[in-house]
Amino acid sequence: MDNKKNASIIKTSRQIHRVLAAGLFILFLLIPATGIILGWKKNTGNLILPRSYEGITTNTAEWLSYDTLKIVAFEALLDYTGKNVSTELDRIDARPSKGMVKFVFTDHYWEVQLDAATAEILNISKRRSDIVENIHDGSILDNIFNTGDGLFKIIYTSLAGLALLILAITGFWLWYGPKLIKKNKHQGPG
């Protein structure tokens, strides 16, 4: 490839790189910042993610039924937060090694942890890590606009991934192109 063509590719790469980086600046701040927070979530002293408490037994044969535990979790949530929160479940997270069951809800970021054998309330707290994760992967926009199908998450992650790929390619040419031009100058006309 001749130097004129290399210089043209470098110029185009610089323009693409600059416009893309400037246009997606906020996105490129959010993704690594939230990624760092998510990486540290278990080491923040319950600030980001509530610790998992332990029940009295790890023997699942001694556990109460999920239906029984669910009733207790719902009542505990409503008593703790007020009667106007949704009890629609996102998931039930059973931790046999801890003798505990966690109830995580769909429409807000509360969780209720119960002793699986006694239904004793072990903890009720906010899952700030879920908020951070929703920002990190773009699904917070699906929550805000109630899309239900993950459309914003798909657009957000596709845009971010494609932009990072293009920035990597153009960044490579911004680094390699001048080296190629310099090498071609030293070799002289072909």
Using a 10 angstrom Cβ sphere, with 0-12 exposed, 13-18 middle and 19 or more buried, the burial of residue 111 is buried
In the chain, % helix, strand, coil (3-state, to 5) comes to 60, 15, 25
The string of DSSP letters for 68-136 reads HHHHHHHHHHHHHH-TTS---EEEEEEETTTTEEEEEESSSSEEEEEETTT--EEEEEE-HHHHHHHHH
Instruction: State residue 188's pLDDT score.
Output: 67
pLDDT tens track, the chain, 190 positions: 788 888 888 889 889 988 888 888 888 899 999 999 999 999 999 999 999 999 999 999 999 999 999 999 999 999 999 878 999 999 999 999 999 999 999 889 999 999 999 999 999 999 999 999 999 999 999 988 988 789 999 999 999 999 999 999 999 988 998 888 888 888 866 5
